[in-house]
């Protein structure tokens, strides 16, 4: 029996594992992972005039529109923070989530061609999405820091530097929510195309019930629970607290958000591993 086991290095059968491939095997594919990130990054700016500048241009344009609509027209409070910084922080973080969520949710539907012809651990694709979105996020965050430096030195706006470190767990949590729910939706959309339309609607819904363009404090007390249902919400308050010093949160709200993230990430990962290798028959 021992000899028999030693003779074979691998085995394929009908069983798929909840845990997926081993880290060792995953490491073996690291070149592919970085190659996919590079491919996506390069291909999204082919035949454009501004190329990678779109990474910066997109949040700038969104911020300008939000200043116009939310600040000037509707007159939503930004809690005394310069609106540019206020909206930029929210938009950077939201982009991170929506990038990861949307691009992960099409893992199977967009890659059928490739998945039908070649094997590699499918989890590589969501991971490459996370890496690329993180890269874009870092660039956008630099823009935010440049803007806050300007306000800090030129406009004398008080910016708390000692809470910056808090932003790191927030970023990880938001990326985790995006990845976990994206993986769940990637399986659902692969099986039932109905979910494709649903991802857009869910994304928009999440955006509205999330304090990106408005502070939590202006939401009427009776309705706050709806906003808090969204595990992303508290992260936006925390993010603004860490970078701009204004935010409203309680420990149990943070605990709920983290618990939801863990459920999504672990659930998404397990289900993804279990189903990924079988889905090709139904896509």
Partner 1 sequence: MIKIDNVSKMYRLGTIGSGTFKRDLNKWLRACFGKKPDPFAPPEDTNLKKSGGERYLWALRNISFEVKEGEVCGIIGRNGAGKSTLLKVLSRITRPTEGSIKGRGKISSLLEIGTGFHADLSGRENIYISGSMLGMKKAEIKKKFDEIVEFSGIEQFLDTPVKRYSSGMYVRLAFGVAAHLEPDILIVDEVLAVGDAEFQKKCMGKMKDVSQQKGRTILFVSHNLQAINNLCSRAIWLQKGTIHAIGDAQSVVNKYLGAFQKKLWKREWQNPHEAPGNEWLKILSVELIPHLDNPTEPIDIRTPLTVKFRFYNLNDHIHLSTNLVLFSLTGECIFDVPSTSGEFNKGVVEGECTIPGKFLNDGSYYFSLYFLKDASRSIFEYEECLHFDVEDYRENIHWYDKWVGAVRPHFPFTLRNYNVINNGVGVLKPHH
Give me the least distance between CB of 159 and partner 1, in Å please.
Answer: 41
Contacts with partner 1 by CB under 8 A: the residue count is 34
The answer to the question of residue 281 lying near partner 1 (CB under 8 A) is yes
Nearest distance from C-beta of residue 120 to partner 1, angstroms? 7
Q: Which of 187, 182, 183, 233 is nearest to 209 (CA)?
A: 233
Largest CA distance in the chain: 76
Nearer Cβ to partner 1 (116/162): 116
Work out whether 280 is an interface residue with partner 1 (CB under 8 A).
yes
Binding status of residue 3 toward partner 1 by CB under 8 A: no
Q: Decide if residue 72 touches partner 1 (CB under 8 A).
A: no
Distance CA 253, CA 221 (A): 15
Q: Does 50 bind partner 1 (CB under 8 A)?
A: no
Q: According to CB under 8 A, which residues from 149 to 208 bind partner 1?
A: 191-192
Task: Answer yes or no whether residue 225 interacts with partner 1 by CB under 8 A.
Answer: no
Nearer to partner 1, 18 or 192 (CB): 192
Q: Distance between CA atoms of 71 and 157, rounded to whole angstroms?
A: 18
Output Rg (C-alpha) for the chain, integer angstroms: 21
Q: Which residues contact 122 (CB under 8 A, 6 or more apart)?
A: 107, 108, 115, 272, 276, 277
User: Shortest distance, CB of residue 132 to partner 1, whole angstroms?
Assistant: 14
Binding mask 106-145 for partner 1 (x = CB under 8 A): --------xxxxxxx-------------------------
CB of 271 to partner 1, least distance (A): 12
State yes or no: residue 51 binds partner 1 (CB under 8 A).
no
Specify the residue for token string 């339309």.
Answer: 197
Nearer to partner 1, 118 or 165 (CB): 118
| Closer to partner 1 by Cβ: residue 204 or 278 | 278
- Axis-axis angle for helices 233-244, 167-191 (nearest 10): 150
Q: Which one of residues 3, 8, 73, 225 is an interface residue with partner 1 (CB under 8 A)?
A: 8
Cα 143–178–236 angle (5° rounding)?
Answer: 55
Residue 78 phi/psi, 5° resolution? -115, 25
**Residue 78 or 275: which CB sits closer to partner 1?**
275
What's the angle, vertex CA 102, arms to CA 99 and CA 103, rounded to 5? 75
Confirm or reject binding of residue 43 to partner 1 (CB under 8 A): yes
Residues 6+ apart with CB under 8 A from 190: 107, 108, 109, 279, 282, 283
Nearest to 206 by CA among 238, 184, 232, 224: 232
Question: Which of residues 43 and 162 has its CB atom nearest to partner 1 in the complex?
Answer: 43
Contact residues for partner 1, defined by CB under 8 A: 7-14, 16, 31-32, 34-36, 38-39, 42-43, 46-47, 114-120, 191-192, 277-278, 280-282
């Amino acid at each position: 029996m021992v000899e028999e086991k030693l003779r074979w290095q691998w085995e394929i059968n009908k069983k798929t594992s909840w845990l997926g491939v081993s880290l060792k095997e995953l490491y073996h594919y690291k070149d592919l992972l970085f190659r996919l990130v590079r491919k996506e990054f390069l291909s999204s700016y082919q035949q454009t005039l501004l190329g990678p500048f779109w990474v910066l241009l997109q949040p700038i344009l969104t911020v300008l529109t939000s200043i116009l609509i939310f600040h000037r027209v509707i007159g939503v409070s930004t809690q005394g923070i310069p609106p540019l910084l206020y909206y930029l922080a929210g938009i950077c973080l939201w982009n991170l989530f929506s990038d990861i969520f949307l691009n992960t949710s099409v893992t199977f539907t967009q890659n059928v061609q490739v998945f039908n012809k070649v094997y590699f651990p499918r989890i590589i694709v969501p991971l490459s999405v996370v890496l690329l979105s993180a890269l874009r996020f870092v660039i956008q965050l630099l823009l935010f820091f440049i803007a806050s430096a300007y306000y800090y030195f030129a406009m004398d706006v008080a910016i708390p530097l000692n809470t910056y470190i808090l932003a790191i767990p927030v970023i990880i949590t938001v990326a985790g929510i995006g990845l976990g729910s994206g993986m769940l939706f990637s399986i659902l959309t692969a099986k039932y195309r109905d979910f494709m339309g649903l991802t857009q609607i869910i994304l928009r819904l999440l955006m509205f019930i999330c304090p990106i363009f408005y502070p939590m404090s202006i939401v009427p007390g009776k309705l706050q629970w709806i906003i808090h249902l969204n595990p992303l919400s508290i992260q936006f308050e925390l993010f603004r607290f860490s970078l701009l010093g204004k935010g409203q949160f309680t420990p149990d709200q943070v605990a709920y958000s983290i618990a939801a993230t863990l459920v999504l990430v672990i659930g998404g990962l397990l289900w993804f591993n279990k189903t990924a290798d079988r889905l090709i028959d139904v896509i």
